[in-house]
Amino acid sequence: MSASLSGKIAFVTGGAIGIGREIALELARAGADVAISWYSHEEEGKAVVAGIEKLGRRCLGFRLDATKSADVTAAVDRIAGELGGLDILVNNSGGLLARQLVAGMSDEHWRNVMAVNLDSMFYCCRAAAAHLRDNGRIINVASLAGHNGGGNGSTAYAASKAAMFGFTRGLAKELAPRGITVNAVAPGLILDTPFHETFTPKEAQNATIAGIPMGRAGYPPDVASAALWLCSEGSGWITGEIVNINGGQYFA
C-alpha cells in the first residue's frame, strides 16, 4: 500500500540535489506540498521546484544558509505562513567540506563542519517545533560515518553525524506527547550525489562496493523511499530510531 501524504506540508533542506532532491520529489509524488532550500545550487533548485509543480503540488524554493539561526527561523515562519502550516521536516543540509586529519585540522574546519551538519539541524528543528502540527514528522539525514567513523580524514564529519543520533533520540522524547516522530536515516555509499562523487575516488567506491553484501552502491531513491515511509501514517509508532540504509554493510 503506497503512502499518501495528501494535505501535508513538508520542508526539505538541501533539496536541490542528491538525496534531498529525491526526497522532495518523492514526498510530492505522495501528495505533499513541499518547500525546499538550497545554498549554492540555485539552478538545480529551480528545476526541482518546476518538477514538483508539474506533479500538481505547490512548491516554495529559496536560498538558505542553514547555519544562521535567524535566517532559519524566518524561513520556517515563511513556509508555515505561505503554505499554511507544517507537517514534515527533513534535515538534509550538510556535508564533509574537506578531508582533514585531526592532527592538522584547523579550528575553522572543525567549527564549520559542526555548523553545517549539527547546528543547521538544531536551528531547523527548533524553528519547526513551533509550527509542526500534531502527528508531524522530523527526519534527520545522518550517515553511516556516525556509526563507524567514516573514511580517512572525515573524523569531524563522523562526530557531527554521531551527535545527530543523540539529538534525534532526545527530541523524539520531547515531541512524543504530541504524536510527532523524530527519526534519522544513516545512508552508506550513495552514488549519483555530489558527496561521494567529490570526496570518494572511484577506486575507493569500488572497494566499498566489494564489501557490501547486497553487491551494489545505493542511490538517492533508496534513501527517499525509506524517508517516505517514515513520513507516512504507518510509521506513527516508530520514533528515536536510526534507519541504516547501506545494503548490509553495517548493522547497528
Q: What are the residue numbers of the active site?
A: 157
Sheet holding 59-63, edge to edge: 59-63, 33-38, 9-12, 86-91, 132-141, 181-187, 242-245
Euclidean distance between CA atoms 231 and 10, whole angstroms = 10
**Which distant-in-sequence residues (6+ apart) come within 8 Å of 34 by Cβ?**
9, 10, 11, 12, 15, 24, 27, 28, 52, 57, 58, 59, 60
Neighbours of 35 (CB within 10 A): 29
Euclidean distance between CA atoms 135 and 7, whole angstroms = 13
Question: Which burial class, exposed, middle or buried, applies to 54 when counting CB atoms under 10 A from its CB (0-12, 13-18, 19+)?
Answer: exposed
Q: Which three cell numbers stand for residue 220?
A: 538517492
Question: How many angstroms from the chain centroid is the CA of residue 161?
Answer: 11
Q: Which residue has the cell 585540522?
A: 105
Whether residue 127 contacts residue 74, with contact meaning beta carbons closer than 8 Å, is answered with no
3-state class (DSSP) for residue 72: helix
Sequence length of the chain is: 252
